[in-house]
């Protein structure tokens, strides 16, 4: 191996090992999301208002105990202790909500009023099951019917423990920051009523908050649903808002991130972000560091705000008029078992245009991050499908790989076979590059003795040696980068495939056969009792192992220089360990591609060997039928 090759491989090794070390530092052990502690309170920058109940009388360790005595049929008395719910006192509510809104709180009570009771209504269409509450007039549950979590539970996307969603936030006339999430709205349905949109296609859900006793000041929220869509609409009407809103401004807020749905929470956190689309540009907020909350405050025409996890997203889209700004906030937190979560709050700012009767409408989309679904809106929602090295990968992924995948999947139901067909097509498309690479490597191989001779001749002057070698390349019309250039041109494609296989909803939980049950995740065969240092590998996967075998065979067939023999073993082992953490779909693609390359290389080598053995068959003219092998010359005449 020459000095330049050694330096090149050392540099490659340094870069690869550094990347592996960085990648390992950001990866965590698998986390069972079902067991993850998600009770932590979100600190969102829209400052959701909740009554201050942290007093000595209602702290967790001093909750009043009520003793209930029960007598069975034999006269035996049993006693049960029950913790009583403690509600804030009215003066505490007034300090939090002010005099205008304290009486509308779910916690408010007086001697004449009855205790407020929560009324839940269930709405179901072909895509989702939803629940709404009159406490806040908000959505409290959203189940995507076509999907399940990694452990086969329903995909319930709303983090109900951390607050209800789609609230109004504003400053009241007495200077209190008000969130409507805990205010009691009036609703004209019975508790736990259920609506099937197949039967009631024109159903609308209306909530009314009477700010004044005579209903001359009020907030009305009206929801409209569709029978076959992830989307629903919400209209806000603020009547005489100048009497209870200060500054003529309000916000429509989604206050927490969507629920975790995948096996690894740290993997979901990698994709979690918040967005605001303004004047054609996508503003993004990514809380990547612990104890480093991120905030984004934007003014100007706003097309939509959004937050997402790995596979699902929520979008708030103004209808009829643009938003007047956006507010994003987020923070990162540790979970149990070395899990990680990123929490986001998104809000659209709205200016009051008509104090007597302010109206605004919004389209709410809670949906899988499906390119076709998002693209169909024509609002650049698909820009939230972000990839690493986005400016390179996105065009390849969105305009080549994903459309071609979906085209193949239209008549090939199994995505595993789609990947195999795609690998074959890519092999055919890249064949000219492969030929160029092979020819360049052959020419370089033939120049080996001459290059060695030149280095010996100028061994005391490395500069002259390099100049002589470059002159030799020019005379032989060889590009020294010809063997590497085709590989470099393939790297963006491979990187785009990595992004597609890792984050595309179509491949989520898509099985191939046997042990390969999810092409978007590693196909784990068994777990190691230890973790491989630097690589952070503790699982052995099937397709990555098979891929390593094909890499070894390729190296064995390609490397003929004894000084490079170590590469036959070192590179396949390192790359196999690297690919153990990659999605099985990517490993399947690369495995098929390598098998085709090995077959092509074997065919080409055998063909050239036969050609060399039978270049020219010339009769020896003795009549014995014997033949002799001679080189083919342009001016040679065949003997009779």
What is the model's pTM?
Answer: 0.76
Beta-bridge mates of residue 527: 539
pLDDT at 433: 73
Cβ–Cβ < 8 Å for 306, 258 = no
By CB atoms closer than 10 A (0-12, 13-18, 19+), residue 565 is middle
Q: What band does 567 get if pLDDT is binned at 50, 70 and 90?
A: low
Give the Cα separation of 504 and 403 in Å (integer).
12
**Residue 639 confidence (pLDDT) above 70:** no
DSSP3 helix / strand / coil % (the chain, rounded to 5) = 35, 30, 35
Q: Average pLDDT over the chain, rounded to whole? A: 79
Share of the chain above pLDDT 90, in %: 37
pLDDT at 615: 63
**Residue 403 confidence (pLDDT) above 90:** no
Q: What band does 224 get if pLDDT is binned at 50, 70 and 90?
A: very high
Give the Cα separation of 565 and 559 in Å (integer).
7
Give the Cα separation of 200 and 62 in Å (integer).
48
**Residue 333 confidence (pLDDT) above 50:** yes
pLDDT at 305: 97
Cβ–Cβ < 8 Å for 533, 571 = no
By CB atoms closer than 10 A (0-12, 13-18, 19+), residue 463 is exposed
Q: What band does 97 get if pLDDT is binned at 50, 70 and 90?
A: confident
**Residue 129 confidence (pLDDT) above 90:** yes
Structure tokens at 581: 């953490």
Structure tokens at 101: 């809104």
What digits encode the pLDDT tens for the residues 239-252?
999 999 999 999 99
Cβ–Cβ < 8 Å for 33, 260 = yes
* For range 592-620, the mean pLDDT: 76
**Residue 424 confidence (pLDDT) above 80:** yes
pLDDT at 560: 61
- In this predicted structure, which of 35-44, 95-104, 140-149, 520-529 has the lowest mean pLDDT? 35-44
Give the Cα separation of 491 and 494 in Å (integer).
5
Cβ–Cβ < 8 Å for 42, 162 = yes
What digits encode the pLDDT tens for the residues 257-295?
999 999 888 888 889 999 999 988 999 999 988 888 999
């Amino acid at each position: 191996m020459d000095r330049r090759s050694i330096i090149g491989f050392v540099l490659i090794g340094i870069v690869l090992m550094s990347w592996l070390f960085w990648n390992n530092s950001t990866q965590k052990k698998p986390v069972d999301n079902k067991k993850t502690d998600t009770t932590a309170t979100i600190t969102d920058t829209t400052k959701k208002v909740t009554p201050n109940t942290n007093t000595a009388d209602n702290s967790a360790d001093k909750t009043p105990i009520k003793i209930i005595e029960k007598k069975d049929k034999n006269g035996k008395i049993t006693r049960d202790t029950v913790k009583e719910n403690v509600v804030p006192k009215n003066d505490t509510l007034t300090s939090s909500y002010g005099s205008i809104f304290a009486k509308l709180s779910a916690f408010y009570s007086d001697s004449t009023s009855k205790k407020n009771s929560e009324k839940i209504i269930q709405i179901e269409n072909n895509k989702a099951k939803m629940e709404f509450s009159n406490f806040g007039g908000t959505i409290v549950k959203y189940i995507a019917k076509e999907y399940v979590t990694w452990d086969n539970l329903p995909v319930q996307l709303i983090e109900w423990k951390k607050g209800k969603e789609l609230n109004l936030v504003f400053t009241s006339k007495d200077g209190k920051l008000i969130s409507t999430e805990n205010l009691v709205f009036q609703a004209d349905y019975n508790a736990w009523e259920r609506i099937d949109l197949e039967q009631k296609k024109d159903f609308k859900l209306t909530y009314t908050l009477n700010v004044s006793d005579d209903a001359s000041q009020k907030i009305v929220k009206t929801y409209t649903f569709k029978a076959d869509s992830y989307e629903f609409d919400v209209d806000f009407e603020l009547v005489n808002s100048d009497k209870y809103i200060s500054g003529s401004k309000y916000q429509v807020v989604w206050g927490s991130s969507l629920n975790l749905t995948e096996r690894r929470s740290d993997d979901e956190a990698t994709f979690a972000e918040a967005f605001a689309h303004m004047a054609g540009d996508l503003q993004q907020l990514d809380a990547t560091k612990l104890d480093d909350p991120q905030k984004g405050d934007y003014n100007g025409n706003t097309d939509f705000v959004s937050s997402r996890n790995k596979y699902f997203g929520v979008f708030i889209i103004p209808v009829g008029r643009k938003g007047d700004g956006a507010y994003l906030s987020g923070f990162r937190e540790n979970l149990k078992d070395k899990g990680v979560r990123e929490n986001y709050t998104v809000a659209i700012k709205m200016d009051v245009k008509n104090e007597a009767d302010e109206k605004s409408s919004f389209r709410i989309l809670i949906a899988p991050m499906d390119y076709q679904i998002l693209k169909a809106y024509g609002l650049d929602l698909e820009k939230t499908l972000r990839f690493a090295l986005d400016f390179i990968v996105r065009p390849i992924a969105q305009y080549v790989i994903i459309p071609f995948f979906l085209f193949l999947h239209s008549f090939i139901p199994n995505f595993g076979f789609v990947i195999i067909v795609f690998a074959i097509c890519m092999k055919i498309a890249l064949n000219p590059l492969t030929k160029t690479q092979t020819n360049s490597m052959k020419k370089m191989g033939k120049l080996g003795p001459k290059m060695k001779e030149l280095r010996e001749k100028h061994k005391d002057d490395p500069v002259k040696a390099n100049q002589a070698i470059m002159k030799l390349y020019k005379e032989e019309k060889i590009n020294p980068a010809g063997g590497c250039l085709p590989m470099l041109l393939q790297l963006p494609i491979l990187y785009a495939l990595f992004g597609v296989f890792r984050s595309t909803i179509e491949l989520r939980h898509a099985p191939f056969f046997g042990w390969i049950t999810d092409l978007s995740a590693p196909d784990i065969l068994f777990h190691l009792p230890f973790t491989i240092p630097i690589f952070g590998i503790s699982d052995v996967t099937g397709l990555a192992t098979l891929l390593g075998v094909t890499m070894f065979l390729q190296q064995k067939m390609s490397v003929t220089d004894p000084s490079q023999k170590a590469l036959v073993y070192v590179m396949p082992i390192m790359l196999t360990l690297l690919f153990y953490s990659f999605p099985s779909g990517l490993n399947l693609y690369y495995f098929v591609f390598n098998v085709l390359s090995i077959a092509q290389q074997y065919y080409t080598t055998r063909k050239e060997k036969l050609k060399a053995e039978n270049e020219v068959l010339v009769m020896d003219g003795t009549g014995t039928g014997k033949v002799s092998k001679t080189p083919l010359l342009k001016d040679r005449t065949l003997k009779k």
